[in-house]
Structure 1
């Protein structure tokens, strides 16, 4: 899943982006409101973590622009402005959650998980498809209780297909979800990840099918031979 972090404090932005990338998310960082406005108008994100006190253009104006364009990204406001009126205004303008600085990192991580789960239309952190289960809290897969170890990119790809099981996910959507601005991710690389994932999933009765010229989808589970 892809996250945009909008934060003008370089040290905080570096720390948070490292934390989120360590959890397997694709993370982009911008440090001013104008850049945030431009990026959210042209790129798709699952979640935007948004400071309010930004150079050039305030975070609330960024939020208003996103919602005017009917952006479906979840928005978590993370700001030093913790007054009730600021919270109310941010939520009324379309933010999904609001945290004040200073904050507890574990709480931030939990709120990120909740918002991403809500984006996927899920109430529970556990998702099951055939014999395979996804724990959204730990972002880990298992089959009959046995962990399935996957490299980061394959984990992200399976998570994306798993949450949209049975529906075709385009190559463009996969690249948008898995790659940050500075990542080199080509269509050929996606094909390689799909090929590896097929081999890893075969013992568990899951198959990644190709919708020729469009993308990929996770097929209905079959009983392993």
Structure 2
């Protein structure tokens, strides 16, 4: 999952980066509100962490401009201000949650996961597609209780497909999710990852097809179609 952190204090920013990286979250940081707005418009993030006291503009104004620009990415405000007025103003401008500094790493990570799950329409941490279970908190994949061993990139792709199940995702979206604009390889690497992921899922599920190719557009994760019985099969052995 990709998180944009808008925080001007370098010590706090570094601390949060370490917290989230330890929780296997990809973190991208800026110390300016204006740059945060530009990044949120340009790239696809799962969540934005927003400080209110920024050097170039107030965090509430950043939030207001993002919502006016129809950026629907969930936003969690991180602030040293615990007064009710700041919280009400933040929620009024479209914030999804508000945490007061200092906070515990476990609570921050738990809130991030919960907000992202709700934003994708999932109330639980486990997303089920057919026989496949993706645990967003543990970063694991199981089929009928047995672990499916994926590489980091393969898991990230399956996680994105699961969170947006039924939605066609372009190769550019995968590339952005995996690399975030940093040292991105060519688009064809996505085909390679998808091929390997398909093989592992097919092996674990007895040959079921979960990832479909949408020609000219990208890939989509769907529940496998139930196999229809052959005509007359019920009469065999009668």
TM-score (norm: length of structure 1): 0.92
Q: 2:36, 2:52 → 1: CA distance?
A: 11
Contact 2:175 2:184 in 1 (8 A): no
State the Cα deviation string for residues 126-148 of structure 1 (Å, max 9, x = none).
22111111122222211111122
Which residue number in structure 1 is paired with residue 26 of structure 2?
26
Which residue number in structure 2 is paired with residue 16 of structure 1?
16
State the Cα deviation string for residues 39-87 of structure 1 (Å, max 9, x = none).
1232222210000111111211110000001111000001111111111
Q: 1:223, 1:126 → 2: CA distance?
A: 22
Q: 1:80, 1:186 → 2: CA distance?
A: 42
Q: Which of structures 1 and 2 has the bigger CA Rg?
A: 2
TM-score (norm: length of structure 2): 0.87
Contact 1:27 1:180 in 2 (8 A): no
Contact 2:52 2:58 in 1 (8 A): yes
Could you say if the C-alpha distance between residues 33 and 163 of structure 1 is closer, same or farther in structure 2, counting changes exceeding 3 Å?
A: closer
SS at match of 1:108: helix
Q: How does 1:72-221 map to 2 (within 5 A)?
A: 72-203=72-203, 204=205, 205-221=208-224
Deviation at 1:189, TM superposition (A): 1.8
Contact 1:8 1:54 in 2 (8 A): yes
Contact 2:43 2:180 in 1 (8 A): no
After the TM superposition, which segments of 4 or more aligned residues of structure 1 sit over 6 Å from their partners? none
Q: 1:77, 1:185 → 2: CA distance?
A: 33
| Stretch deviating more after TM superposition (168-177 or 115-124) | 168-177
State the Cα deviation string for residues 132-167 of structure 1 (Å, max 9, x = none).
111222222111111222222111100111223333
Could you say if the C-alpha distance between residues 41 and 223 of structure 1 is closer, same or farther in structure 2, counting changes exceeding 3 Å?
A: closer
| Stretch deviating more after TM superposition (153-162 or 182-191) | 182-191
Could you say if the C-alpha distance between residues 18 and 186 of structure 1 is closer, same or farther in structure 2, counting changes exceeding 3 Å?
A: farther
More relative contact order, 1 or 2 (CA 8 Å, 6+ apart): 1
Deviation at 1:223, TM superposition (A): 8.2
| Stretch deviating more after TM superposition (21-30 or 81-90) | 21-30
Report the number of matched residues: 224
Q: 1:123, 1:52 → 2: CA distance?
A: 28
- Structure 2 runs not aligned, ≥5 long: 228-238
- Structure 1 runs not aligned, ≥5 long: none
